[in-house]
């Protein structure tokens, strides 16, 4: 299922499919329809069968939406995908609008749609988004209609089948805790809150709570399904029957009732008269409507699995550390290749991404990439979420910077690392900007902080050196990461925007400040790190949490201006490189080992 570069989509899809959708809208008595990128499971990466926005428009970006009317079609994409949306949609058919301003709902509110009906699929939208869409439709004078069947699904004659990968047990040696123990603890917390059951709609929560993994989603080993977890720790697990083996049933035991996914409506109906937990950020409006119609009392709260999953146990930390060392070997071999063969100025972005994947493939434990690699040369490096395609592929030119953001999925861990390297001789500005980003990275890696601190409190550390130079970056500084699960997971994060989840021991988070000079180059340095337990500081009065590094691969010494670093920052770089050398050198071929010795010399 790997997709190293983007080969799907294009204007031809919109030309062929837009008329088919409009025909269905007419059959359903609708004047317009809202098409989000999201699918029924709120997946980051969608199965091909759920790529509805791509089918109707040709746009394959991971964040966007559209309104399709009988006489007009408008697509919305944020700054990450402005160029991609322009390349992949037909300008004669699609009007393009930017996110965040005014955004899809803001745009709708300004239209004159008196007497028009606009449809939406409640399975694809959160209740909060439905409320916003309703308000926008009212302002426009339109009537909003919930549909029982998505008109795209009706029009999509050659729609791929839903994925049916077998669901496999996830060994407790990796999980650290048996699945019945996990669910018993969550059930106890539900009972203490006066809740009878929690409806788990996130495949990530299913994977963690039941110690299972699947293969239904690109880059993430997820089983698509649902679950109802009761306060006594028992559960109903809803999966397509083709995914269920005798081995899985034995693994789940007699405290889990495995039911066909088609019975989810019936299962929700059995919650009549009960107090039910639903997460409005993860569960679609359809779940809220169905539980309420059945007579259940809904408590809107965070998925009860999210926080326990985020706080990794000892086995998970041990496993992911081992996975990162193996991954570091592949990345270091790639960095050696970049510093030798790729200095020709003739290597392309796709060739580089495939070369890194090949290095990872040589490790038999690699299961997949953790996301499609961001392989950005020259001006493409200034697009933080750039996805190289056959149309956009360009060379790693001499005198430029190359940014590679990539990761792997291993049975014991999920990796995510970004390195920026010079191709040829870097300019003084490149060196200065890289060093400012490095200072922010070090500040966030080395900080000690009291319990109750959130990622929002720490975000300024990563930006401080840049801010003092009148610079900044327009993305978050850190996201949570799973263990053989999603490379992006909550509920914690490090960003300017407020996050109310304190950083807790065991949480894995990325540390990835950056700088992007539009049209010229991009710089990002990313390691993963986990929160360590509170410990005393000599002479201090409060025990402080901290971070332990997980990612091991050398930094670009040629891009570091030592004069801009403090004594403590130089010590951090030297200590980090000493650790990289110690952990990796015996696992490398002789030529790469010799290169790494130079790459990790003291500065």
Model pTM above 0.75: yes
Number of neighbouring beta carbons within 10 Å of residue 534: 15
478 and 558 fall within a common domain: yes
CATH number of the domain enclosing 217? 3.40.350.10
273 and 375 fall within a common domain: no
- Does the residue 174 lie in any domain? yes
Looking at the DSSP bridge assignments, the partners of residue 536 are none
Locate 150 and state its tokens.
Answer: 């998505």
Query: Strand pairing of 226-230 and 235-239?
Result: antiparallel
247 and 325 fall within a common domain: no
404 and 291 fall within a common domain: no
DSSP 224-236: --EEEEETTS-EE
83 and 207 fall within a common domain: no
DSSP 544-603: EEEEEE-------GGG--GGGS-HHHHHHHHHHHHHHHHHHGGGS-HHHHHHHHHHT---
Q: Domain span at residue 245?
A: 168-302
- Does the residue 449 lie in any domain? yes
24 and 98 fall within a common domain: yes
d(CA 213, CA 250): 15
288 and 343 fall within a common domain: no
Nearby residues of 405 by Cβ (< 8 Å), 6 or more positions away: 373, 374, 416, 417, 418, 524, 526
The widest CA-to-CA distance across the chain, in whole angstroms, is 75
Of the residues 109, 132, 155, the one at which a domain ends: 155
Residue 65 C-alpha from the chain's centroid: 18
293 and 315 fall within a common domain: no
* Domain total of the chain: 3
Position of tokens 């010494």? Answer: 557
- Does the residue 322 lie in any domain? yes
* pLDDT value of residue 464: 98
Of the residues 302, 336, 358, the one at which a domain ends: 302
Stated as kind and residue range, the H or E segment containing 434 is: helix 428-446
* E strand map for 203-320: 212-213, 226-230, 235-239, 256-260, 275-278, 297-300
Q: Is the distance from CB of 274 to CB of 222 less than 8 angstroms?
A: no
Locate 375 and state its tokens.
Answer: 């392989």
Locate 328 and state its tokens.
Answer: 């570091």
- Does the residue 107 lie in any domain? yes
d(CA 20, CA 558): 55
253 and 328 fall within a common domain: no
Stated as kind and residue range, the H or E segment containing 154 is: helix 151-155
d(CA 188, CA 192): 6
* pLDDT value of residue 3: 60
d(CA 483, CA 170): 11
- 3-state SS, one letter per residue, for 448-504: CECCCCEHHHHHHHHHHHHHHCCCCCCCCCEEECCCCCCCCEEEEEECCCCCCCECC
289 and 185 fall within a common domain: yes
Helices (H), 346-406: 349-361
d(CA 593, CA 356): 17
CATH number of the domain enclosing 411? 3.90.230.10
* pLDDT value of residue 119: 98
- Does the residue 5 lie in any domain? no
d(CA 4, CA 144): 39
Question: Quick one: which of 257, 256, 253, 302 has its CA closest to 278?
Answer: 302
Given a cut of 70, the residues of the chain with pLDDT beneath it are 1-12, 79-83, 100
Residue 598: exposure state from Cβ atoms within 10 A (0-12, 13-18, ≥19): exposed
Stated as kind and residue range, the H or E segment containing 130 is: helix 127-140
Residue 311 C-alpha from the chain's centroid: 18
267 and 394 fall within a common domain: no
Nearby residues of 131 by Cβ (< 8 Å), 6 or more positions away: none
* pLDDT value of residue 9: 56
* pLDDT value of residue 105: 96
- Does the residue 419 lie in any domain? yes
Looking at the DSSP bridge assignments, the partners of residue 73 are 68
* pLDDT value of residue 499: 95
- Does the residue 599 lie in any domain? no
Position of tokens 């263990």? Answer: 483
Phi and psi at 408, nearest 5°, equal -130, 155
Of the residues 155, 178, 200, the one at which a domain ends: 155
- Does the residue 601 lie in any domain? no
Q: Is the distance from CB of 507 to CB of 306 less than 8 angstroms?
A: no
327 and 473 fall within a common domain: yes
d(CA 464, CA 407): 27
């Amino acid at each position: 299922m790997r997709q190293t570069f983007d080969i799907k989509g294009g204007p031809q899809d919109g030309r062929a499919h837009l008329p088919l959708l409009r025909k269905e809208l007419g059959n359903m008595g609708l004047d317009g329809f809202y098409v989000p990128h999201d699918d029924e499971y709120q997946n980051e990466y969608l199965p091909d069968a759920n790529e509805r926005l791509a089918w109707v428009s040709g746009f394959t970006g991971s964040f966007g939406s559209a309104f399709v009317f009988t006489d007009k079609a408008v697509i919305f994409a944020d700054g990450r995908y402005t160029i991609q949306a322009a390349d992949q949609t037909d300008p004669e058919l699609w009007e393009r609008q930017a996110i965040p301003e005014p955004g899809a709902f803001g745009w709708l509110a300004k239209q004159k749609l008196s007497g028009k009906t606009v449809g939406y699929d409640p399975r694809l939208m959160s209740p909060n988004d439905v409320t916003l869409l309703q308000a926008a439709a009212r302002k426009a004078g339109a009537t909003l209609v919930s549909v029982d069947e998505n008109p795209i699904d009706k029009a999509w004659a050659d729609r791929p089948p839903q994925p049916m990968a077998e669901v496999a047990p996830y060994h407790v040696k990796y999980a650290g805790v048996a699945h019945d123990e996990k669910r018993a603890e969550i059930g106890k917390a539900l009972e203490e809150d006066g809740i009878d059951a929690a409806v788990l709609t996130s495949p990530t929560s299913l994977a963690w709570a039941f110690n299972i993994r699947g293969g239904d989603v690109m880059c993430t080993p997820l089983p698509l399904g649902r679950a109802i977890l009761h306060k006594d720790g028992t559960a109903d697990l809803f999966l397509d029957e083709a995914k269920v083996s005798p081995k899985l049933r034995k693994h789940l035991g007699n405290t889990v009732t495995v039911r066909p996914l088609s019975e989810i409506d019936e299962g929700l109906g059995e919650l009549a008269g009960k107090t039910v937990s639903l997460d409005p950020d993860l569960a679609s409006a359809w779940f809220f409507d169905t539980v309420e119609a059945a007579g259940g009392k809904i408590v809107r709260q965070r998925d009860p699995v999210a926080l326990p999953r985020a706080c990794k146990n000892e086995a998970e930390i041990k496993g992911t550390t081992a996975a990162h060392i193996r991954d570091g070997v592949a990345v270091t071999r790639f960095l050696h290749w970049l510093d030798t063969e790729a200095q020709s100025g003739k290597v392309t972005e796709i060739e580089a991404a495939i070369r890194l994947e090949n290095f990872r493939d040589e490790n038999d434990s690699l299961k997949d990439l953790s996301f499609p690699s961001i392989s950005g040369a020259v001006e493409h490096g200034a697009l933080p979420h750039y996805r190289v395609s056959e149309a956009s592929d360009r060379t790693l030119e001499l005198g430029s910077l190359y940014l590679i953001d990539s990761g792997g999925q291993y049975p014991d861990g999920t990796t995510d690392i970004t390195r920026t390297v010079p191709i040829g001789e870097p300019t003084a500005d490149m060196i200065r900007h890289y060093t400012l980003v490095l200072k922010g990275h070090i500040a966030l890696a080395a900080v000690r902080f009291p319990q109750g601190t959130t990622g929002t409190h720490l975000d300024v550390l990563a930006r401080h050196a840049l801010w003092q130079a009148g610079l900044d970056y327009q993305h978050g500084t850190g996201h949570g990461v799973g263990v053989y699960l999603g490379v992006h997971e909550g509920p914690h994060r490090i960003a300017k925007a407020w996050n109310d989840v304190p950083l807790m021991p065991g949480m894995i988070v990325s540390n990835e400040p950056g700088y992007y000079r539009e049209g010229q180059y991009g710089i990002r340095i990313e390691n993963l790190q986990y929160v360590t337990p509170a410990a005393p500081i000599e002479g201090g009065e409060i025990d402080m949490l901290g971070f332990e590094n997980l990612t091991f691969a050398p930094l670009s010494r040629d891009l570091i201006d030592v004069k801009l670093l403090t004594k403590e920052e130089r010590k951090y770089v030297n200590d980090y490189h000493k650790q990289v050398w110690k952990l990796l050198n015996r696992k490398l071929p002789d030529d790469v080992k010799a290169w790494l010795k130079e790459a990790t010399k003291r500065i």
